[in-house]
Structure 1
């Protein structure tokens, strides 16, 4: 069983600890970047996913008036292939479409196979949800 929540600072240490285990996420968690990342988590549309009271993933989107851009979607390796990524996307879309019904949602990602697998439409070099 999992739950998604709007991100707030109470989840910061658990999320950062999770990302620090992943070398490819070092650009967010390294010294010099971590404070900027922590601020971005709070100033963006960010949601976390918990499974059995443990943070297992997050999603962060940017809203600028022209579109909505999913910047990051992360699910910890031990929790992958259980639908948590889809759950995070669904929660984000539900919330954002209420406040921004006419804006298109795009995904900025290098994980093309994942977004193709879940049925997203490729639009140039990005995907549209």
Structure 2
């Protein structure tokens, strides 16, 4: 069972600790980037996935008048395969039912598996 929450400043430490376990996220957490990343989490449209009281993933999207652009989607390895990524994607689409949602991705096979169609170099939900 999971719960999708709107990200708030109070979630910062738990989310950063989760991402800190992943070497691929070190660019976001470096001394040069961490301040900008923290601001982006608050300024973008950010949602968390919580399972059994623990944050297990997040999605951050950029919103403008032309569409919704998912910048990051992350689910911790031990929680993958439970549909949490799809739930986060569903939440952003639910929040913006009349907008096109695009994913800026380096995980193309994941989005293809979910049935999203490729539009140039991005995927459209």
**TM-score normalised by the chain length of structure 1:** 0.95
Q: Structure 2: give runs of 5+ residues left out of the alignment.
A: none
Give the CA RMSD over aligned residues: 0.7
What is the deviation of 1:66? Answer: 1.3
Structure 1 unmatched ranges of 5 or more: none
Matches within 5 A, 1:75-94: 75-94=75-94
Q: Which runs of 4+ in 1 moved over 6 A?
A: none
The secondary structure found in structure 1 opposite 2:18 is helix
Inter-partner Cα distance in structure 1 for 2:25 and 2:96: 26
Which residue of the partner structure matches residue 107 of structure 1? 103
Residue in 2 that maps onto 1:121: 117
Q: Number of residues paired by the alignment?
A: 125
TM-score, normalised via structure 2 length: 0.98
Moved more, 60-69 or 46-55: 60-69
